[in-house]
Amino acid sequence: MNINDYISSGILEAYVLGTLSKEEALKVEQLSMQHEEIKEEITSIEIAMENFANAHAKTPPSSLKTSIFNVLENTTTKKASVDTTTIKLNSKVKTAWSWAAASILIAILSSAFGIYSYTKWKGAEDRLVTLELENSVIANQVNFEKEKLENNIQYSTELISMFSDTATAKLKLGAVDTTQNYLAEVLWNKQNSKVFLRINNLPEPPSDKQYQLWALLDGVPVNAGVFDISDRFQSMNLIEGAQAFAVTLEDKGGKPTPNLEAMYLIGML
């Protein structure tokens, strides 16, 4: 039996209650000198039982003491021939008192031991619940990271396929204002209609504005989606046909039709 099993077996509580045999008590005392954990556990049990006893201590009623003295006083007035009876009566009273006191003490110590054991069990249960919650949080985080990694792998595979596909058109979008060096790149696959966009240079938009990509077919703009400034390729809306792509600055969330006065980029296929 290791130290932790020894501590949780109830032997130390029995030692404090004085219910162990001399050999068992001696063994506990030897182990307490060898192991600090056992010594501390014994001290903890003693303090718990002492606190409980103090909290639940009851003073015997004064009437009990008066009744006992009345019995003793009455017996002294009787003849010597009943001295033997008096001695027996006194003995019975003392014995009854001793048993009553012992019963109260045992009840108090038993209750203290029960509360102490329940407290230890409750603490262990709370720690178990905490561990289960921590494990649940870790599992959710692992699943989130796994899903994120799988999405990144799928995205990278799709992007590589776009670059290597001969049906993919690679288009550079230049600044409408020729005094600026705004620049972006568009990948558009004519067969599967997938569109990827990468921003090389655009100014940071105001907090209430957002850039929007448009595909132009026969002069009609088709919404390809809003986007944030990023130097990595972003997946946009599917576009089935296009002759050009353009970028405008719109209200946050995008618009159904472009604001041509706020066009920043354009590129022809």
CA proximity to 15, closest of 35, 41, 36:
41
* pLDDT of the residue at 206: 95
What residue ranges do the domains of the chain occupy? 3-137, 168-268
* pLDDT of the residue at 101: 57
Indicate the residue type of 185. Answer: E
Residue of 18 and 214 predicted with greater confidence: 214
Listed in sequence order, the residues at least 6 apart from 1 whose beta carbon sits closer than 8 Å to its beta carbon are 9
Most confident of 14-28, 115-129, 218-232: 218-232
* pLDDT of the residue at 251: 96
Residue range 170-175: mean pLDDT, rounded: 95
Q: pLDDT over 90 for what percent of the chain?
A: 35
Element (DSSP H or E) covering residue 196: strand 195-201
- Give me 199's structure tokens: 């921003």
* pLDDT of the residue at 22: 83
Q: Measured between alpha carbons, how far is residue 209 from residues 35, 81, 160, 205, 214 in Å?
A: 70, 116, 31, 6, 16
Q: Give the model confidence (pLDDT) of 93-117 as tens digits.
A: 455 555 555 566 666 666 666 666 6
Res. 144 pLDDT band, cuts 50 70 90: low
Q: Evaluate if residue 265 carries a pLDDT over 70.
A: yes
* pLDDT of the residue at 93: 46
Q: Answer yes or no: are the C-beta atoms of 189 and 161 closer than 8 Å.
A: no
* pLDDT of the residue at 82: 44
Q: In terms of CATH architecture, what is 168-268?
A: Sandwich (2.60)
Q: Give the model confidence (pLDDT) of 61-82 as tens digits.
A: 556 556 555 655 665 555 444 4
The two most distant CA atoms of the chain are separated, in Å, by: 137
Q: Evaluate if residue 234 carries a pLDDT over 60.
A: yes
Q: Evaluate if residue 134 carries a pLDDT over 60.
A: yes
What's the whole-number average pLDDT of the chain? 78
Give SS3 for 238.
coil
Q: Listing from the earlier edge strand, what are the strands of the sheet with 209-217? A: 220-227, 209-217, 244-251, 263-268, 168-175, 183-189, 195-201, 234-235
